[in-house]
Chains A and B, each alone.
Chain A
Amino acid sequence: MSASLVEVEQVSKAYGGVQALSEVSLTIRAGETHALVGENGAGKSTLIKILSGAVSPDSGRVLVHGVPLAPGDVTGAEAAGIATIHQEFTAFPFLSAQDNIFVGHEPRHSGGWMLDRPRMRRETAALLERLGVDIAVDRPVGELPPSARQMVAMARAMSRQSRVLILDEPTALLSTRETSALFGVLRRLQEEGVGLLYVSHRLEEVFALADRVTVLRDGRWVDTSATKELDRDGLIRRMVGRDVNALTGSESASRMLGERVLEVRELSRTDVFQDISFSVRAGEIVGLAGLVGAGRSEIAQTIFGIDRPTSGSVTVAGKRLKPGSVREAVRSGVALVPEDRQHLGLVLPLPVGDNLVLSILRSLSVFGFRSSRRESALITRLLRDLAVRAAGARVPAHTLSGGNQQKLVLGKWLATTPRLLLLDEPTRGVDVGAKAEIYPLIRRLAAQGMATLLISSELPELLALSDRILVMRQGRLAGEVSGADASEEKVLSLALGEVPAAAVGRRQP
C-alpha cells in the first residue's frame, strides 16, 4: 500500500528572475490521494507541469518507480504512467469525445498509418462505463456540458492505464452532484492502486478525499502531513503563514437598507433562463446560488447589457434600462465584475493604470483627450484604497497575481462610482489571503449603501456575506433563503430540487 510510485527530488524552477519552485520534494504512494495546496503563485502549477513533462526543471529530478524521468518530455511522462488533467480546459472542442480520448496515443493498424476505429469505439465504451457516465461519443466535445468534458478528460487519463493521476482543480466546473460522482470514481481508482495528486483550492474536498497534504508557499515546501492530523484552520495557517479569521467571520451589524436599486421583472432569455423577478435594495447583499449552468452568470450579463433578453425588464434606480446596452447600464450605475477576469475583466497586456481607467474613459477625458493629471490621481487613490500589490501603474496587468488582478477589476468598477455591483464568483481562483481582503471590502461597500448581487459557487462564502440568497435551478428561480434559517442544506436542496443526502453528508467541512 505504501510503495512510492513517484518521488520528486529537490526540484527547482525559475521563470526569468522569479523563483517559481525551489528544492521541492514529495512522494506519491500507490493507492493514496496526495493533496497539494497553497496560495496562488505558491508553485503548484509549475510542479504539475514538471511532473507531466510540459516544463523541464532547472535542477532536481522526478523518479517513477525509481527510474528518473527525462525532463520536459510529455510523451515520456505519459509512457511512464503519469496522466495529467490540467486546469485549463484541455479538450479539443471540435473533435468528438472519442477522438479527444485518444488523440496523441491513437490505436493504429496498417503499419501505424491508420486509426483503429473499432478498437477506439470499444475502449471508449469500456472507459465510460467504468466512469459510470453516459456521453454521446460522436458529438463534438464543445457541445457537451462542462461536467461531461471533465469526464472525457478523466477517460483520457484512464485510457493510458496510468499509475499516477494528477488532477488540477478538477471540480472548478462541476456541480456538487457531479463532484460527488467524480469522487466516487477517484476512490475506485485509488482502490485499484492508482496514486492521485489532487490540487484544489476547496479545502473541504481536500479533507474529504486526501490521505496526505503537502503545502507549498512561495515556491517552497512547507509541510507534508496526514489529513487526519490536520484541521482546517491549521491547514490555512500553513498555507498563508499567518492566522486568517476574516474568512468565515460573523456577519457585521445589520445594515440600513435603502430604496430599491435593482428591479428585475420577468426577465427571460430563450433556453438560458426564464421568468426571473427579484430586486436588490441599497446596502443589501443578495446572493445568487445554483449549479454551474443554472443561468446565474447569464442573468448578471443580461442586466449589464452584454446580452439581450427575449422579454422582461431591468430597472435601475427607477429608470428602465435599454436592453443590450452596456453603456447605458454603466451610465445608470451598474458594474459587473465578471467570472473570468483574465478574458473578460482585464486587458492583460495593457498597463495596470490603463486597465483602471478603461471603464471611465469618457468622464476622465476632456473633448476626447485624456487628462493624465486626473487619471493618475484616480489611479493612485484606487491602488492605495484596494491595497493592490503592483510594481507601479505602468506595468502590464498580467504581471499581477490572481488576487491582485481581481482587486484591479473591482477597482476599475469602483472608479465608476456604481450604485449596483454585480459580482460573479469574485473569489474564484483567488488565494486565501486575498479572500480575506476582498470579503471585508464587499461588506464595507454595502455599509456605504452599495446594492450588491453576489454570484458564487462557494456556499460558505454566500452564507457569510449575503443578507438573503436566491437559488436558481435550470434557469428558474427555485426559491429564496434568508437570514437566520439559511444553511448549506437548504440552499442545496433548492438548487438540486431534491434532498441531497450523499453529496452533503460527505462534503461537510
Chain B
Amino acid sequence: MTASSRLLALLTRLARQREYGVLALLCLMVCTVTLVNPAFAAPANLRDLLVKAAPVVMVACGMTFVIVAGEIDISVGSLMGLLAAILGTLTSASHWGLPVSVGIAITLLIGLLVGLINGVLVTVGRVPSIIVTLGMLTLLQGVTEIVLAGEWIKDLPPGLRVWGVGTWLGLPIPVGAAVLVFAACFVLARETPLGRRIYAVGGNPQAARLLGLSVTRIKLFTFMLTGLLTAAATVVSVPQLSVVESGIGKGFELLVITCVVVGGTSIRGGRGSLTGSLLAALLLGTVGTVLIFLRLGEMSTYWERAIQGGFILLAVLADHAARRGGGAAPAGQES
C-alpha cells in the first residue's frame, strides 16, 4: 500500500465517521455567526439554545436505538402532544389538580405504555413499524383532542414550571436531564450486553435469532425506551410553554428522525452513533437561532426548514463520496 492510498483510506474512514463531519459543521457555523454577531456567544443565548435542544436530544437517543434495531417510530410527536395534554390536565388546578409528582409519574407510565403497544404490534403482530407508528400518530392525535376537549390549559402549577425553567447546580433542568439521558444511553450502547445486542439485532436479525437472542424483547425494549424518553422530554419541555394546546409536538418526529439520520445512523439498521445524534440535534437546533443572529433580515428564518433538509442531503452526499472514495463497502447485499 502506498502512502497516498493509505492517506486516502484514512480520509475515507474519517468521512465515514459522521460525528466529525457534523462537529466540524457545527463549529464552523458557531464561529461564523459569532464573528458576524458576537452577541450570539452570550451565555444567555447559548443557554437558550441548549434548553431548546434538550428534548430533541432526549428523544433522539431513544430513536437512535429504534433505528439501529432496524425499526422506526414516527409517533413520537403525537405522543408528546398527548402526554403534554395529560400532564397539563392532571396537574392544572382548574382540572384534576393532582400533585405534580403524581402527574409526572402517570405521564412517564403512559409514555412507557404507548411504547409497549407500538413494540408489541411490531414484534408480535409483525406489522411494519412505519405503519404501526403512522396509525399511532393519527390515533394519538385524536386522543389528545379528546383529553383537551378543545380547551387551552393555562394554569400549570409552579411546581411543574420548575421542571422546565428551573436550574439545578446552575444547570437548567432540561439540559441536566438531557445530559443524564445521553450519558446513560451512551453507556447502555457501548458497555452493556443489551446495548450490543440492539446493534446485533439490527445488523443481522436472522443471525441474532439463530444465536438465541430474543429479537422480540430487544426491539420491544427500544420502543419502550423511546416512549419513556418522549415522556421525560415532555416533562422538561412543556412547562416552558405558557399554554398547553393540541398543536404541541406537531412535526417533532421529523425533527428527531432528521437528527438521527444526519448523525450517521443507518436507516437499514445495525449502525449508528448516539454522539452523532447529539451533535446533529445541536446543529439543527442552532440553525434557526443562527439565521436570526446573522441579521439577514427578519424574513430569513423562513429558510430554516430548507436548511435542515439541505443538511440531510449533504449528509447522504458525504456518505456517497465516502463510498466512492474506496475502502471496503459494508458487507451484505442490499435487496
Establish whether A and B are touching in the complex (CB under 8 Å). Answer: yes
Q: Is the CB of B213 within 8 A of A90?
A: no
Instruction: Report the stretch among B50-58, B139-147, B200-208 that lies at the interface.
Output: B200-208
Within 8 A of A (CB), among B170-214: 187, 191-193, 196-197, 199-200, 203-204, 206-213
Q: A142 touching B330 by the CB < 8 A rule?
A: yes
Q: Complex Cα distance A271/B325, Å?
A: 11
Asked if B7 CB lies within 8 Å of chain A CBs, one says no
Residues of B within 8 A of A343 (CB): 333, 335
B331 at the interface (CB under 8 A from A): yes
Interface centre among B207, B271, B330 (most CB of A within 10 A): B207
A142-B187 Cα distance, complex, nearest whole Å: 24
Residues of A contacting B192 in the complex (Cβ-Cβ under 8 angstroms): 113-115
Q: Looking across the interface, which residue of chain A has its beta carbon closest to that of B328?
A: A143
User: Given contacts A95-B203, A142-B331, are A90 and B211 in contact (CB under 8 A)?
Assistant: yes
Counting chain A CB atoms within 10 Å of each CB, the highest count among B197, B203, B328, B330 belongs to B203
User: Which single member of B208, B332, B333 contacts A142 (CB below 8 Å)?
Assistant: B332
B270 proximal to A (CB < 8 A): yes
Q: Complex formed: what's the CA distance from A464 to B275 in Å?
A: 57
Which residues of chain A are within 8 angstroms of B207 by Cβ–Cβ distance? Answer: 86, 88-92
Closest to B5 in A: A271
Q: Does A270 contact B326, Cβ atoms closer than 8 Å?
A: yes
**By the criterion of a CB under 8 Å from any partner CB, how many residues of chain A are at the interface?**
36
A340 within 8 A of B: yes
Considering the complex, which residues of chain A in the window 264-279 have a beta carbon less than 8 Å from any beta carbon of chain B? 270-271
Q: Could you say which of A84, A92, A114 contacts B200, with CB atoms under 8 Å apart?
A: A92
**Which of A52, A75, A95, A108 is the one whose CB lies under 8 Å from B199?**
A95
A222 is an interface residue with CB less than 8 A from chain B = no
Q: Taking A94-B203, A99-B196, A115-B191 as contacts, is the C-beta distance between A104 and B330 under 8 angstroms? A: no
| Residues on B with beta carbons closer than 8 Å to the beta carbon of A90 | 204, 206-207, 210-211
Count of inter-chain pairs, beta carbons less than 8 A: 92
Contacting B at CB under 8 A, from A67-88, are 73-75, 78, 84, 86, 88
Q: How far is the CA of A143 from the CA of B333 in the complex (A)?
A: 14
A103:B211 contact, CB within 8 angstroms? yes
Query: A94-B270, A340-B333 known; A106 and B210 CB under 8 Å?
Result: no
A78 touches B212 (CB 8 A): yes
Whether B203 contacts A74 by the Cβ 8 Å rule is no
Bound-state CA distance A142–B199 (Å) is 13
Of chain A, the residue at the smallest CB distance from B190 is A115
Q: Are B211 and A74 in contact (CB under 8 A)?
A: yes
A353 to B162, CA, bound (A): 68
In the assembled complex, the Cα of A271 lies from the Cα of B331 at a distance in Å of 16
User: A49 — nearest CB in chain B belongs to which residue?
Assistant: B210
The complex places the Cα of A78 from the Cα of B333 at a distance, in Å, of 29
| Per-residue contact bits, chain A 202-244, to B (CB 8 Å; 1 contact, 0 not) | 0000000000000000000000000000000000000000000
User: Given A103-B213, A270-B326, A271-B326: A91 and B193 within 8 A (CB)?
Assistant: no
Residues of B within 8 A of A436 (CB): none
Interchain CB contact under 8 A, A104 and B211: yes
Complex CA gap A93/B70 in Å reads 14
Cβ contacts under 8 Å, A270 to chain B = 326
The reply to whether the CB of A54 lies closer than 8 angstroms to some CB of chain B is yes
Chain A proximity of B122: nearest CB distance (Å): 21
Interface size on B, residues (CB 8 A): 28
Pick the most buried of A99, A142, A271, A340: most chain B CB atoms within 10 A of its CB: A142
Q: How far is the CA of A84 from the CA of B207 in the complex (A)?
A: 11
Smallest CB separation, A327 vs chain B (Å): 20
Measured between C-beta atoms, what is the minimum distance from A97 to chain B in Å?
Answer: 13
A114 cross-chain contacts in B, Cβ below 8 A: 187, 191-192
Q: How many whole Å from A198's CB to the nearest CB in chain B?
A: 18
| A74 pairs with B193, CB closer than 8 A | no
Residues facing B in A92-128 (CB within 8 A) are 92-95, 99, 103-104, 106, 108, 113-115, 117
Q: Which residues of A contact B199 (CB under 8 A)?
A: 92, 94-95, 99
Query: Which residue of chain A has its CB nearest to the CB of B213?
Result: A104
Inter-chain contact B197/A103, CB cutoff 8 Å? yes
Q: How far does the alpha carbon of A78 sit from the alpha carbon of B335 in the complex, in Å?
A: 32
Contact call B210/A54, Cβ cutoff below 8 A: yes
A36-55 to B contact mask, C-beta < 8 Å, 1/0: 00000000000000001110
* A114-B191, A115-B192, A117-B191 known; A94 vs B330 contact (CB < 8 Å): yes
Question: Within the complex, what minimum Cβ distance (angstroms) separates A226 from chain B?
Answer: 31
Within 8 A of A (CB), among B197-253: 197, 199-200, 203-204, 206-213
CB distance from A76 to the nearest CB of B (A): 8
Interface pair A92/B203, CB less than 8 Å apart: yes
B332 surroundings in chain A (CB, below 8 A): 89, 93, 142
Contacts of A149 in B (CB 8 A): 331
The answer to whether A103 and B210 touch (CB under 8 A), given A93-B203, A94-B270, is no
What are the interface flags for B297-335 relative to A under an 8 Å C-beta threshold, 1 for contact and 0 otherwise?
000000000000000000000000000001110111101
Q: How far is the CB of B326 from chain A (nearest CB, A)?
A: 6
Bound together, the chains give a CA A115 to CA B270 distance in angstroms of: 19
- Say whether, besides A74-B210, A142-B331, A271-B326, A93 and B191 are in contact (CB < 8 Å): no
- With both chains docked as a complex, state the minimum distance between the C-beta of B200 and any C-beta of chain A, in angstroms: 5
Give the shortest distance, in Å, between A242 (CB) and chain B (any CB). Answer: 35
Complex-state Cα separation, A149 to B209, whole angstroms: 18
Contact pick for A84, options B187, B191, B204, B210, CB 8 Å? B210
Among A93, A95, A103, A340, chain B packs the most CB atoms within 10 A around the CB of: A103
Map CB proximity to B onto A138-179 as digits: 1 under 8 Å, 0 otherwise.
001111000001000000000000000000000000000000
| A104 adjacent to B270 (CB under 8 Å) | no
Partner of A74, one of B187, B191, B212, B271: B212
Task: List the B side residues contacting A74 at CB < 8 Å.
Answer: 210-212
* Beta-carbon nearest neighbor of A106 in chain B: B193
Known: A91-B204, A94-B199, A142-B330. 20 other contacts (CB 8 A): A74-B210, A88-B207, A89-B332, A90-B206, A92-B199, A92-B203, A95-B199, A95-B203, A99-B196, A103-B193, A104-B212, A108-B193, A113-B192, A114-B191, A115-B196, A117-B191, A140-B330, A142-B328, A143-B331, A340-B333
8 nearest A-B pairs in the assembled complex, by CB-CB distance: A74-B212, A142-B331, A90-B207, A92-B203, A106-B193, A75-B212, A94-B270, A94-B271
Between-chain CB contacts (< 8 Å), 21 pairs: A54-B210, A74-B211, A74-B212, A78-B212, A84-B210, A88-B210, A92-B199, A92-B204, A92-B270, A93-B203, A93-B331, A94-B270, A95-B203, A99-B199, A103-B211, A115-B196, A142-B328, A142-B330, A143-B331, A149-B331, A340-B333
Interface residues of A (CB under 8 A from B): 52-54, 73-75, 78, 84, 86, 88-95, 99, 103-104, 106, 108, 113-115, 117, 140-143, 149, 270-271, 340, 343-344
